[in-house]
Amino acid sequence: MLSVEENETLTRVGPGTKMGALLRQYWMPTVLSDELKADGAPKKVPLMGERLVAFRDTEGNVGMLDELCPHRGASLALARNEECGLRCLYHGWKITHDGKVVDTPAEPEDSNFKDKIRNISYPVVEAGGIVWTYIGPQTLDGPPPFPRWEWADAPPERIIVSKVLVEANWLQGVEGTVDSAHLGFLHQGAMKATARVAALGGVTEMTKDGFERPSADVRPRLEVENTHYGFRYAALRKPVTDADKNQYVRISHFIAPLYVTFPAPKGTANLIAFVPLNDEQSYMYFIRYATDGEFSAEMREFILGRAGLLPGVDLTEDHGKIRNVANNWLQDRSAMESGESFTGIYGVPNQDLAVEESMGAIFDRSKEHLGMSDMAVIRMRRRMLEAVAKVGQGETSDLMAHGPEFRPEMLRGFETVAPLTTSWQSLIDGPAAPVDSLAGRG
């Protein structure tokens, strides 16, 4: 349980808020690279209660600007995108990707007014098919280093990125992603416990009917450990076979401020982020990375189709879900009654988003009752409140994974079946780990 004040601190993200100050110390995903075509329509980028606009100019440069025109505030999302700049519809001012005002056509011909004005422009990086920006305080050295995720420079064939509008505060999404205990309930329809995968090293496999996992245990024991980037935790369960000797270990990482990695089916790695648009909406970015090989077009369609995240089918053009609050996530009660579906909701991520959105846009956590199975959720909030306090004293957040030592491949989710006597940390920590257990990484 949190106090009302702590809940407010954790969830409010706009300018001038405590969490807003913390989140502004990090690079943020904003739009997908393919949402921006050269000379194409600019895109509104709502981010932490602020209004930005992104566009790609004639030469391919991405501009990330304040959405409102520096003249008298018309939205530059309406602007024409022509010859290396946005031309505001209202009085024709033209603004380049780096915020220079290069034309003020209604002003006298000899006026140098435009040279004295700039629109605010933010730094951008394109990586992993996503345009990232940094809107926080700048030091003399510029923005902080960009996190080179392991898929940052991977070719598109190796990455699947889903971007989904979520009608809930960002924290509800992050909480759901560090909550291993719900797997045995909310997603039970998609998970089948088999001795086969238990015998094959305990790594979840994707089949055409769902996921095969090595455990049916619904009572994981959680162990949580702080790290310099946030924390990591293991959910320890009884495997379907040899439970007297072995345990099924699932390790996830919370990477501040809003990323979670968790075990992914064989040959892939997962990362989920919940990026606040404002206090009551967020975008979920679900990144799947092929650690070995690439995704065929067929595989891509299969993965997205089964997740219920197929663009144009399950998602609208602006990343909305066809299963949403307004239609009760298309919950099918007859499928629940017949036993065909536990939730009546199609697709694992849709099940997550349904329960997270069902709590209301900002859940009042002074009303909750937390148990042992919520240990990772509790730690995430605590780490973030500690970081907020630090930033509140004028310091830089110390929850930073992205310095020169950043080793993103070490932050992959991991699962295996291991002897009860083996510590879970030793399974992922460097040379002490037995070589065989590394085969199941990711």
Residues near ligand FES (CB under 6 A) are 69, 71-74, 88, 90-93
Structure-token match 């090293």, residue found: 201
Q: How far is the CB of 126 from ligand FES (least distance, A)?
A: 27
Q: Which stretch binds Fe ion (CB under 5 A): 65-73, 97-105, 161-169, 346-354?
A: 346-354
Which of ligand FES, Fe ion, none is residue 352 near (CB under 5 to 8 Å by kind)?
Fe ion
Nearest to 220 by CA among 240, 247, 245, 191: 247
Closest approach, Cβ 71 to ligand FES, in A, equals 3
- Closer residue to ligand FES (CB): 111 or 366: 111
Burial pattern 357-384, b for ≥16 Cβ within 10 A else e, equals bebebbbebeeeeeeebbbbbbbbbebb
Q: How far is the CB of 105 from ligand FES (least distance, A)?
A: 9
Please give the Cα distance from 354 to 358 (Å, whole number).
6
Using an 8 Å Cβ cutoff, are 132 and 13 in contact? no
Indicate which of Fe ion, ligand FES, none lies near residue 253 (CB less than 5 to 8 Å, by partner kind): none
DSSP code for 262: E
To Fe ion, the closest distance from the beta carbon of 100 in angstroms equals: 45
Binding characters for Fe ion, 349-388, by CB under 5 A (x = yes): ---x------------------------------------
Q: Which amino acid is at 112?
A: N
Contact status: 175 vs Fe ion (CB under 5 A) = no
57 vs 84: CA distance, rounded Å: 5
- Residue 77: CB minimum distance to ligand FES, A: 12
- Return the number of the residue (131 or 307) whose C-beta is nearest Fe ion: 307
* Minimal distance, residue 43 CB to ligand FES, in Å: 18
Q: How many residues contact Fe ion, by CB under 5 A?
A: 1
DSSP assignment string, 400-426: ---STT--GGGGS-EEEEEETTS-HHH
Taking only Cα atoms into account, the Rg of the chain, rounded to an integer number of angstroms, comes to 23
Footprint on this chain of Fe ion (rule: CB under 5 A):
352
